[in-house]
Chain A
Amino acid sequence: MRRMLSFRDFDWTLLAMVLVLCTISVMEVYSATLHTRFTSFHTKQVFWIAGGLVAMFILAKVDYHKLVDWSPWAYGVCLVALAAVKVVGHKALGARRWFAFHGFQFQPSEWVKLVLVLVVARYFANLGGRNLTWKEIFKALALVGVPMVLVLVEPDLGTTLIYMPVLIAGLFLGGISLRQALILITCAIVLIGGAWSSGKVLKPYQKARLTSFVNPDNDPKGSGYQVRQSLIAVGDGGVWGKGAEKGSQTQGYFLPIPYTDFIFAAFSEEHGFVGAILVLLLYFFILMRLIQNAQTAADLSGSLIIMGIVAVLTFQIVVNVGMVIGFMPVTGIPLPLMSYGGSSVLFTFLALGVAMNVRMRRFVN
């Protein structure tokens, strides 16, 4: 039996929660840029969100199976783009991550996330969920590893790490055995330890950023500055917050980039523990809702796509909020749906569009 594809099957609950977060985001971007030269950023953010919504609906219309079929081609394009950005990209903050195009900056590494989710889902779906051989595992590693290395040399450590949960989710849900997992983890520890001590893979500023969060007061004006100011901002908020546009850390610009990476610190200062918990609850419900959609998906590839998205979003939320409250190093990973920025907003909405796509086709036989 065939049913007409209908937006009644669209996940309106999920969208409602997402839009609440987006509203909070626009408000906080407004507050955090109030006395700076970035005062128009909240309107730009509204445009990005609107654009994201349109893109989401469009993507929801295209059958995700087609997306999965096209994904190998997209993957190829991504690798070329990543290689190209290293050569001709726009240099900012010491790294080549962007293409500058008619005044817009375009960061290919953001888009690779989505393509990677699709490619990995396709790969494991084709394996059919049975036990994996070592050969299959190494193929998966290579699939994710190649773009990772390309991004790492940009250098953009944060985005490199975002690709990891896609791989981990794929392996875990795709049928890796406990023994294989343990062996892989051991190898990873040895490799990471070796890379760290060799001093060739990571640049010194990356190392300093990765370690300074443990004790930011050691170098309060240098590598520990961002973490320290972020902790002060969050703590300054207290239980109820200092009120919108009243956070001294945010308004005095002591908090670095309070509208992008540290927007959660700005929000926590102005809206306190209560506000922060509300935002975390919204994220939790969004993730739970997505997992529910993965459960009801029509096939394995659909489930794997949604779980890949869940993995990426969870990773970004935990790493960003962890960074803001001093649990994680400063990595430059934006908070999905909250941080200002076109690439980030568009990726999130496109990812949600794919998830909707899967949900809308759960009864399609």
Chain B
Amino acid sequence: MVSEHRDNRGEKIPNIKLVAVQWGILLLMLALVAGLWRLQVLGAQNFRSLAEQNRIRKVPVLAPRGKLFDRDNRLIVDNYPSISCFLVREQGHNVEADLPLIAKGLNLDLEQLRATIRRYRAEPGYQPIPIKQDMTADESAFVAAHRNELPELETIDEERRLYPRDGYAAHLIGYVGEVSEDDLNNPRYATYEPGDVVGKAGVEETYDALLRGQDGARDVIVDSHGREVGYLGTQHAIPGKDLNLTIDNDIQKAAELALGPREGAVVAMDPRSGEILAMVSHPSYDPNDFAVRINRAAWSKLVTDPMHPLMNRAIQAQLAPGSTFKILMSLAGLQEGIAQDFKVVCNGGATFYGQFHACDHHHGLVDIEHAIPWSCDTYFYTLADRLGIDTIAKYAHEVGLGERTGVDLPNEAAGVVPSTEWKLRNYHEKWYAGETISVGIGQGPVTVTPIQLARMISGIASDGHFVRPHVVDPAQLPPEFRSALYDSFPGSGVATVPLDPANWMIITEGMAQATSPGEFNTAFASHLDGIDFAGKTGTAQVASHAALKLMKGVDTKPNGWFVGVIPRRNPEFVVCVLFQHGDWGSNAARLATYVAAAYVDKQRRLEHNILEQAGQTKPVEVGALWSNPDGKGGFQGGHFVVDPAAGLQMAKSGKNTPQGLKPQSDSAKLTHGLKPVPSALADEVQPAMIVPRREDLH
């Protein structure tokens, strides 16, 4: 082949240039190798975790919240299954454009939906945004039908709170809601994430850390479009802890009904332990409205309502105690050694420091034994004058007035106990001796909460042993939670104030006298035949006489108070009733009798119920004698151990096998209090014949 390029044949590229090119290529290649080394050998760990973050998405598995039971294991707050809708911002899909369709399908307000999404802007993209709770069947169907058009929507089954209706124990239980932005900035909520449900009031708030449990997660593998392409595993949710409240549903119910439509509060407590048996505040609200997100209008109606339905009056109403304060006055007078020999002639009032202070009656000669049941104002005016404000304040603080009780509910109020120092601090004025007079009958600047009064009276009637009121038995709580709880709810708590036994007797006798029939006995309305129910009424003006004239259209009737204990000394039960604008303390006393009667009624029933008497855990020994079932005459006898838990279970399930009844014919094992059955009889026992009926177990 001949080519015209032949003349080029001799010319060649200098070898050195080709070698240079080879070295150049080698160096470039080495640079690439170095880059690969840096990424794949040195940085592998880091990049692997980045790749994992890319592909693994945590889909929350929501923990069911702990249920709430009353002290007898009766369910108060339950959960119910519900479907929530979440929005997952995935890259590459324009969520913004879909919002109108989503809003329409899920019946959401478009602007509100946009606002919700805006709040999550700073959160990582894989974090799902909750946009709709408690979806209806139609809304779930909408999401299912638009799976392809709206891949960003995800539904999650969760459990939702179901509260008692009609505001039953609403203030005590509280409610839950989505954690607010303000909460999230609070270090207490450090472990919470936006969208978490959190207790907002009452027990739900105080015990949130226990009730909420721990959400789990499903680790799913996704592609770059956020589509689920695989599944790695599940961290199971740890359900919230169920809690037993100290509330007794029977007493709570009685208290709710007793207060009815009236404005006020009822607190019933076991003075020996501080367990709250009932806590009612009216007007109430329906916490179920909060379980699903409450709408703005309903919320603002609740907050602006002049009746303050959200306020828990039992621990937050700070009102003049009226004559219930005379218990404290008596205690102070007796402890100071003044009241014992101190007599006053009551002529319907008396003049102090140039001002006349009235009494309801002309009681005549009054000593401390009569002053309490008669609630003679003149007596206590004089006593207050003798004691002076600072002595009164000292005793008031000793019995927990002017201080939080430390009840395990949020936002307890402390009330006010005036003193010279208090006035100086708050008004920069000196205390006038004339001001002490009305404090003597629980008027003037002194204010208390119902729970303070309940704690005070129980402590005085229990020989000075004061308790920390609580609505959840601390025995169920983990130790570290318990101690943290006491720190976060400081208050007077458990305390012992040494009382002279004679003084304690005089006061409790006076309170017992008050509820007994008698001309001047103020708490006669609370008399319960055959029951040792001792108490003290109080009627407290809501404003001074001068102010009353200015107030029009506002209910200015005095508040009625009653505090009572059963029995009068070392009581097992205390009830405090606040009946706002109830006109007279005796009206409050009448309401209290319903609660007291419910308590007594329950105690009587319990005494006839072996199972409940034994509690739910301890087995009970029972002796029984019955006629022969074959009709031939004669008796059979037996001795049994009844396990209440198993027995109740059986009775409920309706099974015939008496697992709860274990025949124990060996009489040598019998313990105290039960006479051994004669062995001749015991031998005849045929355990199989003992088939309990439902009634037998109740």
A interface residues, Cβ below 8 angstroms from B:
2, 35, 63, 65, 68, 125-126, 128-129, 172-173, 221, 229, 231-239, 248-249, 251-254, 268, 272-273, 276-277, 280, 283-284, 287-288, 291, 294-295, 298-301, 303-304, 307, 310, 314, 318, 321-322, 325-327, 364
Say yes or no: B41 contacts A327, CB within 8 Å. Answer: no
Q: Tell me which of B29, B43, B225 has the highest count of chain A C-beta atoms within 10 A of its own C-beta.
A: B29
Of B9, B18, B35, B44, the residue contacting A326 (CB under 8 A) is B35
Specify which chain A residues have a CB less than 8 angstroms from the CB of B8 in the assembled complex: 125-126, 128, 299-301
Having A238-B48, A283-B29, A287-B25, one finds 10 other A-B pairs with CB under 8 Å, namely A173-B17, A238-B41, A252-B224, A254-B54, A277-B33, A288-B22, A291-B22, A295-B18, A299-B5, A314-B25
Which secondary structure dominates chain A's binding surface?
A: helix
Number of A-B contacts (CB under 8 A): 151
Q: Nearest chain B CB to A331's CB is how many angstroms away?
A: 16
Residue from A129, A236, A253, A277 in contact with B13 in the complex, judged by beta carbons closer than 8 Å: A129
Q: In the complex, which residues of chain B have a beta carbon less than 8 angstroms from the beta carbon of A310?
A: 21, 25
Partner of A291, one of B12, B21, B47, B225: B21
Name the A residues within 8 Å of B43 (CB-CB): 235
- Chain B residues closer than 8 Å to A288, beta-carbon distance: 22, 25
Contacts of A268 in B (CB 8 A): 36, 40
Rounded to whole angstroms, the CA-CA distance of A65 and B32 in the bound complex is 36
A232 with B28: in contact, given A125-B5, A295-B15, A322-B35 (CB under 8 Å)?
A: no
- Which B residues form the contact surface with A (CB < 8 A)? 1, 3-6, 8-9, 11-13, 15, 17-18, 21-22, 25-26, 28-29, 31-33, 35-41, 43-44, 46-48, 50-52, 54-55, 91, 221-225, 229
Whether B13 contacts A303 by the Cβ 8 Å rule is: yes
Cβ B55 vs Cβ A325 within 8 A: no
In whole Å, how far is A180's beta carbon from the nearest beta carbon of chain B?
Answer: 15
- Given the complex, which residues of A lie within 8 Å of B15, measured CB to CB? 295
A273:B36 contact, CB within 8 angstroms: yes
Shortest distance in angstroms between A301's beta carbon and chain B's nearest beta carbon? 6
Closest chain A CB from B151 CB (angstroms)? 14
Contacts of B11 in A (CB 8 A): 125, 128-129, 299-300
Contact A65 B40 (CB under 8 A): no
Docked pose: A291 CA to B55 CA in angstroms: 44
Partner of A273 from the list B25, B41, B225 (CB cut-off 8 Å) is B41
The answer to whether B40 touches A252 (Cβ under 8 A) is no
What residues of chain A lie closer than 8 Å to B3, measured between beta carbons? 63, 65
- B234: min CB distance to chain A, Å: 20
List 10 tightest A-B contacts by C-beta distance, closest first.
A235-B47, A238-B44, A236-B51, A325-B35, A273-B40, A252-B223, A235-B39, A248-B55, A254-B224, A253-B224
Question: Which chain B residues lie closer than 8 Å to A233 at the CB level?
Answer: 51
**Chain A residue, CB-CB nearest to B53:** A232
Residues in A with CB closer than 8 Å to B5 are 65, 68, 125, 299, 301
Closest chain-B Cβ to A181's Cβ sits at a distance in Å of 12
Partner of B222, one of A252, A304, A322: A252
Q: List 19 A-B contacts (CB under 8 A).
A: A68-B5, A125-B8, A234-B39, A235-B44, A235-B50, A236-B48, A238-B48, A248-B52, A249-B55, A251-B223, A252-B54, A273-B36, A287-B25, A291-B22, A295-B15, A299-B6, A300-B11, A326-B39, A327-B32
A236 in contact with B224 (CB, 8 Å): no
Which residue of A229, A276, A364 contacts B36 across the interface (Cβ within 8 Å)?
Answer: A276
> With the chains together, A169 CA to B122 CA distance in Å?
52
Q: Which of these, A249, A254, A307, contacts B21 with CB under 8 Å?
A: A307
State whether B54 touches A249 (Cβ < 8 A).
yes
Beyond A173-B17, A327-B35, whether A239 also contacts B40 by CB under 8 A is yes
Residue of A nearest to B20 (CB): A172
What is the chain B residue whose CB lies nearest that of A129?
B11
In angstroms, Cα B12 to Cα A173, docked, is 10
CA distance A87 to B223 in the complex (A): 39
Chain B residues near A299 (CB-CB < 8 A): 5-6, 8-9, 11
Contacts of A327 in B (CB 8 A): 31-32, 35
Q: Is the CB of A325 within 8 A of B25?
A: no
CB <8 Å contact, A314 and B51: no
* Cβ-defined contact, A318 with B221, below 8 A: no
- Smallest CB-CB separation from B31: which chain A residue? A327
Please pick, from B17, B36, B52, B223, the residue contacting A234 in the complex, using a CB distance under 8 A. Answer: B36
How far, in whole Å, are A291 and B19 apart by their CA atoms in the complex?
A: 9
- A254 near B1 (CB under 8 angstroms)? no
Q: Are B13 and A325 in contact (CB under 8 A)?
A: no
* A237-B25 in contact (CB<8A): no
Give Cα A173 to B55, complex, Å.
50
Determine the residue in chain A with the shortest Cβ distance to B19: A291
Whether A231 contacts B17 by the Cβ 8 Å rule is no
CB distance from A254 to the nearest CB of B (A): 5
Identify which of B36, B48, B221, B223 contacts A277 (C-beta below 8 A). B36
Give every chain A residue within 8 A of B48 (Cβ-Cβ).
Answer: 235-236, 238
Q: Please indicate the chain B residues that have their CB under 8 angstroms from the CB of A295 in the complex.
A: 13, 15, 18
Residue among A129, A276, A287 making CB contact with B40, cutoff 8 Å: A276
B52: A residues at CB distance < 8 A: 248
A291 touches B18 (CB 8 A): yes
A173 vs B22: C-alpha distance when bound (angstroms)? 13
- Complex formed: what's the CA distance from A253 to B31 in Å? 28
Q: Nearest Cβ distance between residue A97 and chain B, in whole angstroms?
A: 24
Most buried by A among B4, B21, B46: B21
> Do the beta carbons of B47 and A234 come within 8 Å of each other?
yes
Q: Is the CB of A325 within 8 A of B229?
A: no
B38 contacts which chain A residues (CB < 8 A)? Answer: 325
Q: Which of the listed residues B3, B18, B26 has the most CB atoms from chain A within 10 Å of its own CB?
A: B3
- Bound complex: CA of A229 vs CA of B3, how far in Å? 53
Please state if B40 and A284 are interface contacts (CB–CB under 8 Å): no
Most buried by A among B5, B37, B55: B5
Which residues of A have CB within 8 Å of B223? 35, 251-254
Kindly report which residue of chain B lies nearest to residue A320, judged by CB atoms: B32
Asked whether A248 and B51 contact (CB < 8 A) given A253-B224, A273-B36, A325-B32, the answer is yes
- CB pair A248–B54 under 8 Å, yes or no, is yes
Does A298 lie within 8 Å of B39, measured CB to CB? no
In the bound complex, CA of A325 to CA of B17 (Å): 29
A231 to B35, CA, bound (A): 10
Q: Is the beta-carbon distance between A232 and B54 smaller than 8 angstroms? A: yes
Contact of A173 among B13, B29, B33 (CB under 8 A): B13
Minimum CB–CB distance for A307 against chain B, Å: 7
Min Cβ gap B220→A in Å is 12
A318–B39 CA distance with the chains assembled, in angstroms: 17
Bound state CA distance, A35 and B52, in angstroms? 19
Residues of B near A307 (CB, < 8 A) are 13, 18, 21
A284–B55 contact, CB under 8 A?
no
* B25 surroundings in chain A (CB, below 8 A): 284, 287-288, 291, 310, 314
Residue of B nearest to A173 (CB): B13
Shortest distance between the CB of A294 and any CB in chain B (Å): 7
- Complex: A254 Cα to B224 Cα, angstroms: 5
A280 to B26: give the CA distance in the assembly, Å. 10
Contacting residues, chain A, for B21 (C-beta < 8 A): 291, 307, 310
Give complex CA distance A151, B46 in Å. Answer: 40
Q: Are A232 and B50 in contact (CB under 8 A)?
A: yes
Bound complex: CA of A232 vs CA of B40, how far in Å? Answer: 9
Residues in A whose Cβ lies below 8 Å from that of B26: 284
Query: B44 to A280, Cβ gap below 8 A?
Result: no
Within the assembled complex, what's the spacing in Å between the Cα atoms of A129 and B41?
46
- Whether A232 contacts B51 by the Cβ 8 Å rule is yes
Distance in Å from the Cβ of A268 to the closest Cβ of chain B? 7
